[in-house]
Structure 1
Amino acid sequence: MELTQRDLLFKLAVCEGIGNLGMLKVLDFSLAYHDTTNFSKEEIIHIAGITTYQKQFCTSWDYWTANDEKLQNYQAQHQFILVTDAVYPAYLKQIYNCPALLFYKGKIDYLAEPCLAMIGARSASVYGIQVVREFIPALAKQLTIVSGLAKGIDSISHQITMQNGGKTIGVIGTGLDICYPKETAHVQREMMEKQLVISEYPNGVGPRKYHFPMRNRIIAGITLGTCVIEARKNSGSLITAQAALDYGREVFAVPGNVLQAHAKGCHNLIQEGAKCTIRPQDILEEIQFF
């Protein structure tokens, strides 16, 4: 049976040896040639430009081809959208290497809302938590708050948004059936039921170090701007901030104590041109121009 584009992209997503760029190339080729999806594994290797991991891809493709019923059952356990779907966020589609498909649980219509990323240190200080509590009530009235469901500023931003009746989106670096870290599992479960959690990884995929920079590009990509509340000099939050700058989005940085390490990242951002942010209105005034 010939696969639809949706079926093909899911099959590629669960195969080893092919990355997101390769999947986008296959989809682009399919669209250019009358939506054809009847590709052999050799054709996919050529179209996707798979070199180093050809053996892994062939083994994985052959396994899922031989176990088509298992693949269909596995696919039925997921909700996902393709980059070609109307509901796919327009801002995310603009970035390089945008996810070919997004798995989700919750209210997918949140992706159409104007969004702001709120990110920061995992080891949040009392000051950082106070900033989140001060900023969120005003911001959540006009913007959907996006973060990464990590410990610290991320999960606190999600929780305070929900406490204030706002909308929030979590972007994770694992399958949606996995809660990482475990400390924020209760927040993720609540958000999958009442808010929205998205990932580019299918169920069963655990955390890998390289997943989180990839996750960060999605956070920066779906938002109008990124607000960094606390960050060390070489923290993952700065990767998200840099991605936001690369995508032409606004970056906001909250100043902190000049003597504390987890404020140095924000201070460096301010020195490099990020907007020094001391109140939620600083964000709302800037965001309106987008």
Structure 2
Amino acid sequence: MDKIRYRLIHLHRIKGIGRKTIREFLRFDPTLKKIYEMSIKDLHLHFAIPMKKAQHFYSTLRNDEQKNLLLQDLKKYKIVTIVDELYPTMLRTIKDAPLVLYTLGDFRLLKKEPALAVIGTRKPSSEAKAKLEYMVKPLLREKWTIVSGMAKGIDGFAHQLALEYEAKTIAVLGGGFEYIYPKEHITLFKEIVNKGLVISEYPPDTKPAKYHFPERNRIISGLTFGTLVIEAMEKSGTMITVEQALDQGRDVFAVPGSPLVAQTKGCHLLIQDGAKLTQHANDIREDWLAKKYGYYKNNEVY
């Protein structure tokens, strides 16, 4: 298994070869050993990799500098792959599950339940913090894990609130650990590493890219049973995360607000489309109990 996971991590780091191709490699040979033995022509013919990409892949596969960087990262970070027992069960079931996760902090949180994704706009209203505290505080007192994306606005508020109440939180990044974004959250990043968990499917030396953020959103929703939207603009990254949560069969909770506030329009649209109108932590907790145990409890969260 160690050799398989090493090969998987190694292949995952080669630019120009995506997750779809690596999945084809795994179907062709679950040990991935044969991939290292194939010629450029074989790679081109078997996997329909364009000849130029096949040549690049072949040479990078044999690059000692790349191998040395990987060995350094294996010592520095806990790396979890889809072939490991530690890989989160819920995440394994989603479409296009990440093949490799780099982690800093308490990696055991990957399997801790219950976990709730808390997301929202990067430009929250003046009421956003109060809404967040009202909805999430009761769950934090019960030691729920809060998952978010460490972005400005609601994401940052959610992580900070979890840390304040000594609950656990997981931040899912849109780049590698060597390029923290936004820069003003470097202190928050360090605090989450010390008291929670930070994860990324991107190697540590990967700079954040615009397309990374929609990609990472599937992990935020995929790690949790449900996604709570505090505030959202009508068209935003938050709505993309919600689409992915729904596609994954996860619950979506939306907090209503004034129709005069732009940051609540997304939530109202979600409620119209079937998201659960959420007025109290019990609305979330009851759904979790029903999902986990098949019944509701009437006792309230205090």
**TM > 0.5 fold call:** yes
Aligned to 2:7: 8
Aligned to 2:18: 19
Aligned to 2:232: 231
Once the two structures are superposed, what CA deviation does each residue of 1:125-164 show, in whole Å capped at 9, x if it has no partner?
2211111122222112242110000001001100100110
- In the alignment, the residues of structure 2 paired with residue 48 and residue 212 of structure 1 have an alpha-carbon distance, to the nearest angstrom, of 28
Aligned to 2:222: 221
Q: How many residue pairs were aligned?
A: 283
Cα distance change on mapping 1:81 and 1:14 into 2, 3 Å:
same
- In the alignment, the residues of structure 2 paired with residue 78 and residue 193 of structure 1 have an alpha-carbon distance, to the nearest angstrom, of 14
Q: CA deviation at 1:24?
A: 2.3
Aligned to 2:64: 67
- In the alignment, the residues of structure 2 paired with residue 189 and residue 46 of structure 1 have an alpha-carbon distance, to the nearest angstrom, of 46
SS in 1 for 2:214: helix
TM-score normalised by structure 1 residue count: 0.91
| 1:37 is aligned to 2:36 | no
Aligned to 2:128: 128
Q: CA deviation at 1:60?
A: 4.8
Cα distance change on mapping 1:72 and 1:252 into 2, 3 Å:
closer
Once the two structures are superposed, what CA deviation does each residue of 1:81-115 show, in whole Å capped at 9, x if it has no partner?
11111111111110111001111111111111121
Question: Identity, % of aligned pairs?
Answer: 38
Q: CA deviation at 1:201?
A: 0.2
Pick which of 202-211 and 8-17 moved more.
8-17
Aligned to 1:274: 275
Q: Give 1:94-105 correspondences, 5 Å limit.
A: 94-105=93-104
Q: Unaligned 5+ residue runs, structure 2?
A: 292-302
Pick which of 67-76 and 215-224 moved more.
67-76
Once the two structures are superposed, what CA deviation does each residue of 1:188-244 show, in whole Å capped at 9, x if it has no partner?
111112210111000110111110111000011111000001110111011111111
- In the alignment, the residues of structure 2 paired with residue 214 and residue 289 of structure 1 have an alpha-carbon distance, to the nearest angstrom, of 29
TM-score normalised by structure 2 residue count: 0.88
Q: CA deviation at 1:121?
A: 0.8
Cα distance change on mapping 1:158 and 1:49 into 2, 3 Å:
farther
Decide whether the 8 Å contact of 1:26 with 1:47 is kept in 2: no
Q: Unaligned 5+ residue runs, structure 1?
A: none
- In the alignment, the residues of structure 1 paired with residue 194 and residue 55 of structure 2 have an alpha-carbon distance, to the nearest angstrom, of 37
Aligned to 1:28: 27
Decide whether the 8 Å contact of 1:22 with 1:47 is kept in 2: no
Pick which of 133-142 and 227-236 moved more.
133-142
Cα distance change on mapping 1:47 and 1:190 into 2, 3 Å:
farther
Structure 1 vs Structure 2 CA RMSD: 1.9
| 1:138 is aligned to 2:133 | no
Q: CA deviation at 1:41?
A: 5.7
SS in 1 for 2:146: strand
- In the alignment, the residues of structure 1 paired with residue 88 and residue 44 of structure 2 have an alpha-carbon distance, to the nearest angstrom, of 29
Aligned to 2:118: 118
- In the alignment, the residues of structure 1 paired with residue 217 and residue 60 of structure 2 have an alpha-carbon distance, to the nearest angstrom, of 31
Decide whether the 8 Å contact of 1:21 with 1:48 is kept in 2: no
Aligned to 1:189: 190
- In the alignment, the residues of structure 1 paired with residue 246 and residue 39 of structure 2 have an alpha-carbon distance, to the nearest angstrom, of 38
Cα distance change on mapping 1:71 and 1:142 into 2, 3 Å:
closer
SS in 1 for 2:210: coil
SS in 2 for 1:16: coil
Cα distance change on mapping 1:58 and 1:192 into 2, 3 Å:
farther
Q: CA deviation at 1:124?
A: 1.4
